[in-house]
Amino acid sequence: MSSLDRYRTFVEIVDRGSLTVAARHLGVSLQSVSRALSGLESELGVELVRRTTRRLQPTAAGLLFHARIKAALIEIDSARAEIGRDSERVAGTLRVGAPVLFAPRHVVPACVTFLERHTELEIDLILSDAQANLVDERLDVAIRIGDPGPLHLKIRPLAQLRRVIVAAPEYLAHHGMPRRPEDLGNHVCVVRTFGPEGDAWPVVIDGQPARIPVHGTLRCNEATAANAAVAAGAGLGLAPLWQIQADLDHGRLKIVLAEFEPPPIPVQAVWLGAAGTPVRTRLFVETLALHLALEGLRS
């Protein structure tokens, strides 16, 4: 295995938190992944990952090396993609559908980069939280969170979004900290009436996914308002981490039940599969995938 392959394997190990999961994602044997990690540590002369009976924990040196080498690998992949672009003229209009809140932070930067590279192209960005029909909306590609839609669509996984259960410090001071998922039934929760969760929140108990019934006096059909209600102390909330990161950073919210964190939710690009994929669609999806990787959102 080359040094470059070892670097890629190491990044996968840290990102996935497991040798077994990394091997599955890379499509290689567990023994191959283990040998790659041991060989890299021998090459560098430092322990990168501390192995325990329950999990893998990157060392301080491992975290530093991971951050530097992952950025370098992304640049290598980007450079390879650029070589192919030089011989492919990208022009016309690209119609991209994306969720309302997700697009400004994660899709727009990729659009800007793509337009800078392809000056003969225009992008129409159509934002909606509804699952639009690609034919009716004349979309070249749609970015979807969760359900990708009909099976006949082409799908490219882009990222996995962490979800967390949170509460305002004021709420916790008055109502106490939940210790187990079952405690959610004794708490007031802000219930999102959109999406698949509703009043049955996903958690992971002993490595297995489960759903816990919740109830609350405030129900909301929009994410920004639901997050604001939780930050104001209306109850516990379930939200994608990226939506409430600023509230966490400023102490307006705290994560609860961290050891029972819900499974991540996938982000994918979807497009019609008939007659091949247009060059502009394929290259845009590659650009977006690189942006999300640089932002630390795992695929």
Closest CA to 11 of 33, 29, 32: 33
Domain limit, last residue, from 49, 84, 119: 84
- The β-bridge partners of 126 are 97
Angle at 257 between CA 297 and CA 193, to 5 degrees: 70
pLDDT exceeds cutoff 80 at 83: no
111 and 26 co-located in one domain: no
Across the range 59-65, mean pLDDT stands at 90
29 and 175 belong to one structural domain: no
Residue 274 has what pLDDT? 59
Out of 24-28, 70-74, 89-93, 173-177, give the one with best mean pLDDT: 173-177
pTM of the predicted structure, to 2 decimals: 0.66
Position 84 scores a pLDDT of 55
* CATH code of 33's domain: 1.10.10.10
> Which of the pair, 227 or 69, is modelled with greater confidence?
227
Q: Which of 84, 104, 136 is the last residue of a domain?
A: 84
43 located within any domain: yes
Tell me: do 149 and 173 sit in the same domain: no
What pLDDT, in 10s, does the model give residues 275-294? 567 788 989 999 999 889 88
Closest to 135 measured CA to CA, from 271, 231, 237, 259 = 271
pLDDT given for residue 143 in this prediction: 96
Looking at residue 71, its pLDDT comes to 81
**What gap in Å lies between CA 6 and CA 23, rounded to an integer?**
12
| pLDDT tens-digit series, residues 177-192 | 999 999 999 999 999 9
The number of distinct structural domains making up the chain is: 3
Question: Is residue 299 domain-resident?
Answer: no
**242-262: average pLDDT:** 95
Q: Are residues 25 and 79 in the same domain?
A: yes
Nearest to 133 by CA among 146, 149, 145: 149
- Residues 112 and 42 grouped into a single domain: no
Parent domain of 206: 163-260
Same domain, 167 and 247: yes
Instruction: Give tens-digit pLDDT for 112-166.
Output: 999 998 988 999 999 998 888 888 888 999 999 988 887 778 889 999 899 999 9
Q: Are both 168 and 208 inside the same structural domain?
A: yes
In a domain, 132, yes or no: yes
Residue 12 lies in a domain: yes
* 165-223 pLDDT per residue, tens: 999 999 999 999 999 999 999 999 999 988 777 889 999 998 899 999 999 999 999 99
Whether residue 104 lies inside any domain: the answer is yes
Over the stretch 231-248, which tens digit does the pLDDT of each residue have? Answer: 999 999 999 999 999 999
Same domain, 171 and 256: yes
Of 24-28, 41-45, 76-80, the range with the highest mean pLDDT is: 41-45
CATH of the domain at 101: 3.40.190.10
Cα separation, 229 vs 102, whole angstroms: 19
Distance CA 275, CA 142 (A): 18
Q: Assess if residue 218 is contained within a domain.
A: yes
Is the pLDDT score of 8 beyond 50? yes
Q: Do 99 and 132 belong to one domain?
A: yes
Residues 195 and 220 in one domain: yes
Answer whether residue 199 is part of any domain: yes
| Whether residues 110 and 80 fall in one domain | no
177 and 34, same structural domain?
no
Q: Is residue 235 part of a domain?
A: yes
Q: What is the pLDDT of residue 87?
A: 46
Amino acid at 62: G
Determine the Cα–Cα distance for residues 59 and 189; give it in Å rounded to an integer.
37
Last residue of a domain, one of 58, 84, 110: 84
